[in-house]
Amino acid sequence: MHGGAVLALLVLAVVSVSGQEGFGHHHHLEEYVDYRARPHYHYDYHVHDHHTHDIKNQWEHRDGKETKGVYTLLQPDGRKRIVEYRAGKHGADYKIRYEGHSVHGGIGSFGIGN
């Protein structure tokens, strides 16, 4: 009789758990995504690591079909590269310029990071 009581409690526990799930019917919440909504975002980031000489940053903004942004990075030759860009329904346009002077041997020639 003792074994029958344990079995009965086990069956009752299984039925109870099954009842919490709606007797096998799983209910999923659907997330509504409006694919026609106008895209809009802005982000920026900065990296400044003196040990690896990884120095760069970027920002970008999008509103509808227009995206614009700027990114800069310190090149191995010591110059800073600056790229400004704009993209839209008529294509993309990039303007690249440099600041500073190129140094023969790059950053490593100064003994930086050694």
pLDDT of residue 67: 97
In a domain, 9, yes or no: no
In a domain, 3, yes or no: no
Closest by CA position to 78, among listed 58, 105, 57, 51: 105
In a domain, 11, yes or no: no
pTM of structure:
0.60
pLDDT per position as a tens digit, 81-92: 999 999 999 999
Host domain of residue 48: 32-110
In a domain, 21, yes or no: no
pLDDT of residue 2: 53
Closest by CA position to 66, among listed 80, 50, 87, 42: 87
Query: Taking the chain, what is the end-to-end CA distance rounded to the nearest angstrom?
Result: 80
Which residues of the chain are modeled with pLDDT < 70? 1-27, 105-114
pLDDT of residue 23: 52
Task: Tell me if 85 sits within 8 A of 92, measured CB to CB.
Answer: yes
In a domain, 7, yes or no: no
Question: How many structural domains compose the chain?
Answer: 1
In a domain, 40, yes or no: yes
Task: Tell me if 113 sits within 8 A of 52, measured CB to CB.
Answer: yes
